[in-house]
Amino acid sequence: MVNTPRTVAIFGAGYIGLVTGACFADLGHRVTVRDVQPERIRLLNAGDVPIYEPGLGDLIAANKDRLTFTLDAREALKGAEIAYICVDTPPTASGDADLSRVWSVIESLKDAPHLTAVVIKSTVPVGTGDRVRAALDEAGLGHVGYASNPEFTAEGKAVDDFLRPDRIVIGASDAATAQLVTELHAGVEGPVQTLSVASAEMVKLAANALLATKITFINEIATVCEATGADVEQVARAIGMDHRLGPHFLKAGLGYGGSCFPKDSRALRAMASNSGYPFQLLNSVIEVNDLQPRRAIQRLKTELGGLKGRRVALLGMTFKAGTDDLREAPSAVIAARLLAESADVHCWDPMARPADAAPWNSTTRHPSPAEAMRDADAALVVTEWPDLNDVDWAAAGRAMRRPLLFDGRNALDPDALAAAGFTYMSVGRATLRPRVTVR
């Protein structure tokens, strides 16, 4: 692959824009990242990173000579050959994607004399490419190529996912643009898949929906395991050894969360519904995932004989470990449900930023798992933080009113917890009763 340094303008300094910008700068390109939020740009210009993403700060610092940040679209576009759109596309009331931020970027491209390609990384409905193409033509940018280059990076390992992806998907309007975007990735260790714009748009939505389906499938199997005496961890391990199925995304738990799977599965469902097709499988996936955290609370309620006035410790708040992100985290549903049952909710999380909105403003935050668990009637592992491996469980159990642990991520060793005096509940496995008496 040819490695010609290009001048790239990135629109959006969120997770995707910052990772994309920093990685392109690392590959040798000159990158300007533009965002509309003054505080975000101020922090970046001061050498701070406004989001938590492992390795991102170091990558930005290492490439600071080729990486600038601005509020000004014209400045970002000065000399830019390629404009990357990485703005968010939140759902509207109808479930359609709100593309207003995309359109305002397109609007600003009129003042970019060197521009040869516009690439969209934001997740968009299939067909957006045609609309963008028409908007570019209307804006007198008929000579500018267009491509969809969806991202498949997962939070917490986004830099590595970008630089060593399973595949780079490029859906371009013409061969020259496909070649340009391919060359832009020179140095990235992954195969390039070139396809139509609409197919590239669909790959992103379909891949996330299939991953969400895989998680939901194992959560359904877990429920059947609970009813029949099988152990979902043993089942998942053996299923995953079949190379046609693979071991990934077979971890049963409290359901998927985050900024992508819930939003993208709903967007794909809305897209299908808009064309009159009820995507029944995806409907079930969304429904089961919604139920998953509620089932956990119901099981806890049964075990405790009611939740009113019970003190419950939530261990973990973020939607997964390795991120500070609380978006669509199952923890919020769990905390809100517990509060609705008049429980007293105490939380711990090593990364989540102070959250003062509901339900968090009605909970108490603690600096360690042990402190959150003191005097509690039950503790619930919501996020699989590795810090939980360092907890002195026997001591934490002795400090609880009742040593009951619901491991919502099947993250801990059941035998060790039972030996530490806990009643150990988990997802898709039998409840273990304590092997020693703590009091």
Residues lying near ligand UGA in the complex (CB under 6 A): 151-155, 208, 211, 215, 249-251, 253, 256-258, 260-261, 264, 319-320
Q: How far is the CB of 385 from ligand UGA (least distance, A)?
A: 12
Nearer to ligand UGA, 78 or 157 (CB): 157
Name the 3-class secondary structure at 298. Answer: helix
Least Å from the CB of residue 361 to ligand UGA: 23
* CA distances from residue 323 to 43, 64, 94, 260, 330 in whole angstroms, order as listed: 19, 24, 29, 14, 14
Closer residue to ligand UGA (CB): 151 or 201: 151
Nearer residue to ligand UGA within complex by CB, 60 or 260: 260
Report the distance separating Cα 68 and Cα 83, nearest Å: 14
What the block records as the tokens of 312 is 């419950």
Least separation, in Å, of the C-beta of 155 and ligand UGA? 3
Catalytic residue (choose from 23, 86, 260, 347)? 260
Neighbour tally for 183: CB within 10 Å: 14
Q: Facing residues of 184 across strands?
A: none
Which uninterrupted H or E stretch holds 236?
helix 232-240
Cβ proximity to ligand UGA: between 173 and 426 the closer is 426
Nearest distance in Å: CB 30, ligand UGA: 26
- To the nearest whole angstrom, how small is the minimum distance from the Cβ of residue 368 to ligand UGA? 22
The two structure tokens encoding residue 137: 């033509």
Choice between 108 and 123, CB closer to ligand UGA: 123
231 backbone φψ class: left, alpha, beta (φ>0; ψ -120 to 50): beta
Task: With CA atoms as reference, report the closest residue to 253 among 289, 286, 219.
Answer: 219
Nearer of residues 21 and 397 to ligand UGA, judged by Cβ: 21
The answer to whether 229 and 207 have CB atoms below 8 angstroms apart is: no
Is 23 catalytic? The answer is no
Q: What are phi and psi of 351, to 5 degrees?
A: -120, -30
Cβ 351 vs Cβ 325: under 8 Å = no
SS3 425: strand
Q: Checking DSSP bridges between strand 364-366 and strand 344-348, what pairing results, if any? A: parallel
Work out how close the CB of 318 gets to ligand UGA at its nearest, in angstroms, rounded to a whole number. 9
HSE of 362 in the Cβ direction (CA atoms, 13 Å)?
A: 16
What residues are annotated to the active site? 260
